[in-house]
Structure 1
């Protein structure tokens, strides 16, 4: 089968097209004929071995696929690796049936980005109706869905940040009440101004560096910041626990992998709720571009350069 294989760690240049043996499922695994694979920012970290979970070589990247099993089940699945290929193995417990009315783009958009936005708002910050929410990188996969979910769940005011006018316009189209350029010299003041002069209640942040620092300073008493990535690859300033007392603020971290430590099938609960919102027309995945398998390197280049919006897909058939 055709697949992308990494034999040395590095940037997008290490993604090479290869012919590999078809994978054979072991106990508790299923084989998926991949219709589409999702591209996530975490994949770029995996390629350079800077992700939270260490990788080993050789490696077929890709943590999410949608497709069919040999028995004809249509599933979306999360993987530790192996998604950028014509066929992939998934643990049966990490694959969920997808309604035929849900297209590949939406299925893949929900299993990582949608579930992440769901967890951030439901579990990490416990959003209350009427609260203000700042969504950084609001035109990205998680951000674009978080804007819509925050509005659907009764946020009082949603403030979106994005790096270009086109991306900010998209955030407004998705329901944001105000938009901010994250490159503002005084981002704290810009966020407060966008919230009509009030400090903000909730921040969803995945950029790192000064964006995190300034967002923390913009929090209202009992405000919460959920940190779920570091796209800039620049660490924020260290936070001393004592400084959190100044405004009774909370910092949460969220890594989707930890959802599987929770009792019950929380992912199934999240996907059911997300698919229901899709069916109601209240939630949609923004297409970010589709690449052939041999174009995986370009997909990573564009993602790392922040030239993309929405959900990126790889089509293994080309």
Structure 2
């Protein structure tokens, strides 16, 4: 799937291209499954953190085997994943344990590693703290809820846009759930809902990926020494400037996170993957399968993501 112009899902086109030519240190892989992420919708629009160059084959993750044969691996890419073959650095691939499906492996390589680093590297979660997970039924959120519970959070609060999604977050381990639509008109209403879900008390950690009023309401809900980790901008809304005084008044912190920086430090990826994949194999961590689409139906996958019709991890089948 290639784009030659920026826009919405309609710019994703099926094309025949030559096999990618591996660069220095790279290897050619046959793809059995490719992952879809919300960030891909930004990439297609050219509204993400790094400017994109056309023509472009989106996709940052794959499961496959080395061309010519070899063990199944899950890997990260700097693009090109929506395809039957990819060129990848073996240093950014990890063996998939027996019993772990392609979908489960794809769920943890980007979204799971993001959840791992949000809690461990950026928020420095401490036992007993209250954690709010925005979009708790999504790919990152559904895993962050489980990891926060596993790592000793005193209370986990999730937000989700429907009653069904909120029920899922509680099934995964959230103690309470909140409708983020409360932030649509007034961030103060969202702040109050988060604190109400925490027994009237402010919260310690918020993992935030929406921006706009959700960001503002989340920041106001923080306790002294609370941390808001921002890792997305799904609303496409500008987030207001945070004055230093607003942080100092409650000793609050705002921290940004982008997994691309971990990809330049492969040991950071190893730290996450060597813990996450065995947890999935043991059944101790439950990735949520959000749907498997033919590669030729990737427009539908993007439409479903943008319309909030999905939960968990979306994958593409390049054989269809």
TM-score by length of 1: 0.96
Give CA deviations for 1:105-127 in whole Å, capped at 9, x if unaligned.
11100110000000000010000
Q: Which residue of the other structure, out of 76, 79, 97, is the alignment partner of 1:78?
A: 76
Work out which of the residue numbers 231, 234, 248 in structure 1 matches 2:234.
231
1:11 aligned residue: 8
Can you list the C-alpha shifts for 1:63-116, whole angstroms capped at 9, x where unaligned? 100010023121111111111111111122222222232210111001100000
Structure 2 match to 1:244: 247
Q: Deviations over 1:254-289 (max 9, x none)?
A: 000111344x61211211111222233221110111
Indicate whether 1:146 and 2:144 are aligned. yes
143-152 or 94-103, larger mean C-alpha shift: 94-103
Distance in 1, matches of 2:88 and 2:280, equals 25
In 1, the alpha carbon distance for the partners of 2:141 and 2:8 equals 24
Runs of 4+ deviating beyond 3 Å: none
Q: Which runs of 5+ in 2 are unaligned?
A: none
Alignment of 1:184-203 (within 5 A): 184=182, 185=186, 186-203=189-206
Aligned equivalents of 2:249 and 2:261: distance in 1? Answer: 30
Distance (whole Å) between structure 2 residues aligned to residue 182 and residue 291 of structure 1: 28
CA distance in 1, matches of 2:283, 2:298: 31
Distance 2:135 2:99 in 1: 29
Q: Which residue of the partner structure matches residue 218 of structure 1?
A: 221
Q: What TM-score do you get using the length of structure 2 for normalisation? A: 0.96
Does the CA-based 8 Å contact 2:97-2:281 persist in structure 1? no
Secondary structure, counterpart of 1:159 in structure 2: strand
Matched, 1:49 2:46: yes
Query: Secondary structure at 2:228's aligned position in 1?
Result: strand
Q: How does 1:1-318 map to 2 (within 5 A)?
A: 4-70=1-67, 71-184=69-182, 185=186, 186-262=189-265, 265-318=267-320
User: C-alpha displacement at 1:22, in angstroms?
Assistant: 1.3
Q: 3-state SS of the aligned residue for 1:23?
A: coil
50-59 or 37-46: bigger deviation: 50-59
1:251 counterpart SS class? strand
**Cα offsets for 1:165-194 (capped at 9, x unmatched):** 010010011010000001125000000000
1-structure distance, mates of 2:104, 2:270: 15
- The alignment of Structure 1 onto Structure 2 pairs a total of residues equal to 314
Query: 1:152, 1:282 within 8 Å by CA — same for their partners in 2?
Result: no
Q: Secondary structure at the match of 2:15?
A: strand
Task: Give distance in 2, aligned partners of 1:282 and 1:234.
Answer: 36
- The answer on whether the counterparts of 1:148 and 1:282 sit within 8 Å (CA) in structure 2 is no
Q: CA–CA distance in 1 between the matches of 2:263 and 2:83?
A: 25
For 1:128 and 1:60, locate their aligned partners in 2 and report how far apart those are by CA, in whole Å. Answer: 40
Determine helix, strand or coil for the equivalent of 1:17: coil
Deviation at 1:242, TM superposition (A): 2.0
* TM superposition shift of 1:201: 0.4
Deviation at residue 27 of structure 1 after TM alignment: 2.0
SS at match of 1:221: strand
